Structure 1
Amino acid sequence: MTRDLPVFEAELVTAVAEAHDTSPDQLAALVARVQSYLAGFPGIEDLVYEWKRAFAYDPVVLRDDERYVVVLLPYVWEELAEQLELEDDDLATLRAVHDRQARATFDARGEDAAVLEGGAPMVLHRE
């Protein structure tokens, strides 16, 4: 299931899926679909660069060899949902799994996740 989601923990995906009344496989497929869609904008690196230029703040709150954790304004998620024709429930589930994974990533590193407050976190695999 999450082998295609290298920056998402399988247990976390399962917990969020259960909390949102969906299956872990369906959630994993949705997360993979978003990653694939975003990677199609000539790539994750370029997309993150464009966000850094477009916003009045630096959305990148964590970057390592595997991932970016960005904090976006909620409208970015809403526009993405519109582009992918996602239902409101799917958007809520996606946002929840990205938020939980962002927080788990900060926790695993022993870092304060306060930078995530008030925003809409997104975790992106650096391919």
Structure 2
Amino acid sequence: MHTHGYRPGIYINEDDFFDPNPFSEGCTERCRQEFFKTLEYLRERLKIQIEIFKHLKKNEDGSFPTFNIYDVYSYYEGRDDELQDKNIQDLFDVDILSMDISHLKKRTDIPKSVERKEKETEIEIEI
């Protein structure tokens, strides 16, 4: 199977994303509700990741850049000191801060990279 760089083994185990027998012996209604709660949690996280991946810019050669999704999360929360790629915003075609990443608290400051770009734009306009 040719995957075009996608690594299905990370997400799929033995041809199934989810355990085909999720309930252990003696599972009660509470157990079943916890299972549903977990699936809802996973669905929300996957929905967010899909949106993030949809907005990734292509490289000039048509490939997509590698990046760490935790850099997106760190940037979103304002934890810039934890960024591996300080230019993470440049990899996306939308402002990361405009995304709804519901499980994270959005930063309230202006990221230094945005502040720098705004100053560069002001300088260009003045010239």
Q: Same fold (TM over 0.5)?
A: no
Return the structure number with greater strand share.
Answer: 1
Return the structure number with greater helix share.
Answer: 1
Larger of the two Rg values belongs to structure: 2
* Range into which the TM-score falls when normalised by the shorter chain: under 0.3
